[in-house]
Amino acid sequence: MNVLNRINSPSDIKDLTADQMRELAAETRKFIIDNVDITGGHLAPSLGTVELTIALMKVFDPPDDKIVWDVGHQAYSHKIYTGRRDVFNTNRQYQGISGFIKPSESVYDSFGVGHASTSISAGFGFVMAREILQEKYKVISVIGDGSITGGLAFEGLNNAGASGKDFIVILNDNEMSISKNVGAISKYTTSVLSDPKFNRIRNDIWNYAGKYKLGTQIRKGLAKIEDSVKSLLTPGILFEKLGFNYIGPVDGHDVQMLIKVLENIKNKISGPVFLHILTEKGRGYKPAEQDAEGTYHGVGPGILANGKEKKTELPKYQDVFGKALCELAKTDGRLIAITAAMKIGTGLSDFADEYPDRFFDVGIAEEHAVTFGAAMSVKGLKPVVAIYSTFLQRSFDQLIHDCALQELDMIFAIDRSGLVGEDGPTHHGVFDISYLRMIPNMIIMSPSNESDLRSMLYTAAKLKGLFAIRYPRGSGTGSGDDHSFEDVSIGKGKKVKEGRDTAILTVGNITNSVLKACDMLKEKGIEPSVYDMKFIKPIDTGILDEVSSEYSNIITVEENCLIGGFGAAVLEYYNSAGKNGLNIKRIGIPDKFIEHGRTAKLMEILGLDAEGLAGTIAGFCGK
């Protein structure tokens, strides 16, 4: 690492020669691969942006100039070049550096991210703050071709383009979804469009035409000619119409070309500029280049060395869901599946293969996914919208206005509920019970094992209503992913352990930890009854009445924030029923954002693992 070891801040890149920058790119890729093999992380996205990062730090002056990354999972080289090389081995580890951009971690991290499509709006916010405060700095927002499918990105483009203010947006097109290649013509037009001489001549002609009576017609003619040429040679006409000066496409791995274009934009071109670059996701690591969207988008520790992901005998919840939906779709032609750029992550790959006409990946556009599905429901279809808990937050208004208010027939398969581990606070699914429970007409259930998940999906598919099924990341309990479907009684829980004195009301996957905790408590003479409530809404009031009359101590346990969660629903019922003065203890996620780290470690710290639960229960029972 002859060059990389000398890079401790962006200023160290300024004096590098062309050969040294190429060497830096190669060393950085090896460094990322070696470290991700130990810690896990987002491999393919960050391998694709190494040259771009070098060029940005060569041309601009962060932290004074603001580089705003979208999502942040492509910004590992940014972290490495901004003083975090020597701690990069702690990436995504508990009390280590974050896997995403985090302003509290570094002054070079201008805006916190984790979800997609935010960089343009945030970048334009920096632009207007600069204007109001009369400061001088450049703002560069980097967004991926997947993220730009999100509506927020176009809202930002529309606002920024109309402003006329200096602002640079870089589209990192790593799927070649807009342009298929960077050929000789593309390189030539890019060189021309970014050249200051071309822009000066164009502006001179424009200003000259305005001096004559026919100036308006001449300008219109010139604009049409320019638009026609650009639409033939480049895909930039859309961005031009939004008020941006489009430049590209540019080879995102030609660092010298990137530097030349960025210097021209920085020094010679004013107003909003849209730079389109083409990169290869996973570049420099053949397996990642060939499977950038699947295995190597985000990997766990040891996958690179082993060449494959470690398999467990227990099926993942996402795969149980996907298999069950395929089975149900065989006999129910109304069932369709919708995902927001997470076909693999939500377990829908097989469904997409078996029922291509009934599968819809709408891109990173969760709001659209929900309303799109709502209209299908209006026409009598049964949409199953599979979205991670943390991303469904973006569709809150659509859930209320477009689905619940119209009393539609839909299923929301909410994956990654609860703590999700190394991705941290931007991805923990610990708010969904709270934000769904307040919505009228919403039925919310949470399985504690695979057979429950299958039967809940089966029941929701059969019945009419607005259903939400929340389940965790990772492997199940071993109850089987081929368990026969059974009807689930809406709003009914189940007593899963007989005990005395204390009743524990729990819901979801954490039920299994509660049962383990109870086994630990036997030697202390504590034998609580345990109720797997299964439903958060409607809640089983029969069980609640039974518990309040038979037990002196009541404990609720959930893997959701306590504010507005399952335990809050229990308290609300008892209050409305006039059953005040009960001895109730709520256990769940406290009122703070939970940092990144292995899920097991986080559960231990929060006292939500079996041992921690046993201690809390014993303390509440006075033992």
Answer whether 477's CB lies under 8 Å from 451's CB: no
Answer whether 423's CB lies under 8 Å from 596's CB: yes
Number of CB atoms found within 10 A of residue 270's CB: 12
Distance between start and end Cα atoms, the chain: 58
Pull the structure tokens for residue 388.
């991670």
Task: Cite the DSSP H helix spans in 234-345.
Answer: 237-241, 255-268, 286-290, 303-306, 317-331
Answer whether 602's CB lies under 8 Å from 94's CB: yes
Transcribe 141-160 into DSSP letters: EEEETTGGGSHHHHHHHHHH
CA 269 to chain centroid: 34
Instruction: Name the helix (H) or strand (E) containing 505.
Output: strand 502-506
Cα gap 334→383, rounded to integer Å: 8
Does 66 participate in catalysis according to the annotation? no
CA separation (Å) from 258 to 103, 239, 248, 249, 581? 26, 20, 10, 11, 68
Pull the structure tokens for residue 253.
């791995």
Does 492 participate in catalysis according to the annotation? no
Cα gap 378→400, rounded to integer Å: 15
Cα gap 465→441, rounded to integer Å: 8
Handedness of CA 457, 459, 463, 467 (dihedral sign): negative
Residue type, 461: A
Cα gap 11→603, rounded to integer Å: 41
Give the gyration radius of the chain's Cα atoms: 27
Residue type, 372: F
Does 263 participate in catalysis according to the annotation? no
Helices 541-550/566-576 angle, 10° precision: 70
Q: Of how many residues is the chain composed? A: 623
Peptide bond into 356 cis (omega under 30): no
Q: Is 225 helix (H, G, I), strand (E, B) or coil?
A: helix
Q: In sequence order, what are the beta bridge partners of 586?
A: 556
- Dihedral angle over CA of 285, 290, 292, 293, nearest 10: -170
CA separation (Å) from 608 to 89, 409, 561, 603? 27, 35, 12, 5
Catalytic residue among 281, 316, 343, 454: 281
Residue type, 159: N
Q: Which of 69, 99, 47, 51 is nearest to 281 (CA)?
A: 47
Residue type, 535: F
Catalytic residue among 394, 416, 454, 537: 394
Residue type, 154: F
For residue 338, report the phi and psi dihedrals to the nearest 5 degrees: -130, 135
Catalytic residue among 366, 367, 450, 558: 366
Instruction: Name the helix (H) or strand (E) containing 220.
Output: helix 215-233
* Ordered strands of the 494-497 beta sheet: 494-497, 529-532, 502-506, 553-561, 583-589
Pull the structure tokens for residue 524.
């202390």
**Which residues are known to be catalytic?**
281, 366, 394
